[in-house]
Amino acid sequence: RHGGEALAASRGGAPSVGSSRQGQSPSRPCALPPIGHDRRVDETPEELTDEQIAELRSVLAALLEELDGLLAKSKAASRTVGLDEPIGRLTRMDAIQQQKMAAEERRRRESRRRQVVQALAAMDEGEYGTCRKCEEPIGLARLRARPETPFCVPCMQQLEHR
């Protein structure tokens, strides 16, 4: 999702009122460009400098440490609710729902951790910052927002809308 107000402001326009999704309101046009036309003409990503890579490496290392800590803490929360536990029916249903939500959050964190490890490996191989799909530079702004990403914004949008 994009914040319509922040996006419009970054493009020099007025903040949009209402939804930022296309096609939801004909009286309020979407502030987002069509898929695949995400970059401004003057915003061509360039290769990363050594300083930028070092900055992003430290961000990735801190993110890896944070994810490891969160995964260690979440292990108990995602354990299975035992049938022999002396709790009421509604409490048991609530506990099962909480367990499922904790398990899904843990799955997301494990997935993101794998991406961080892959990004650090790509740095070591000299391939970090290059889109795996189109092989163009990803762009510093995107990497600062999501340093583990293997795709540029247009390619990620194409993958999400399949």
Whole-Å CA distances, 103 to 69, 98, 111: 16, 9, 12
The answer to whether 3 and 20 are in contact (CB under 8 A) is: yes
Whole-Å CA distances, 90 to 67, 93, 94, 96: 32, 5, 6, 10
Average pLDDT over residues 118-134: 94
pLDDT at residue number 75: 73
The answer to whether 146 and 117 are in contact (CB under 8 A) is: no
pLDDT at residue number 155: 93
| Average pLDDT score over the chain | 75
Neighbours of 70 (CB within 10 A): 14
pLDDT exceeds cutoff 50 at 90:
yes
Could you read off the pLDDT of 14-27 as tens digits, one per residue? 444 443 434 444 44
pLDDT at residue number 35: 44
pLDDT at residue number 128: 94
24: left (phi over 0), alpha (psi -120 to 50) or beta: alpha
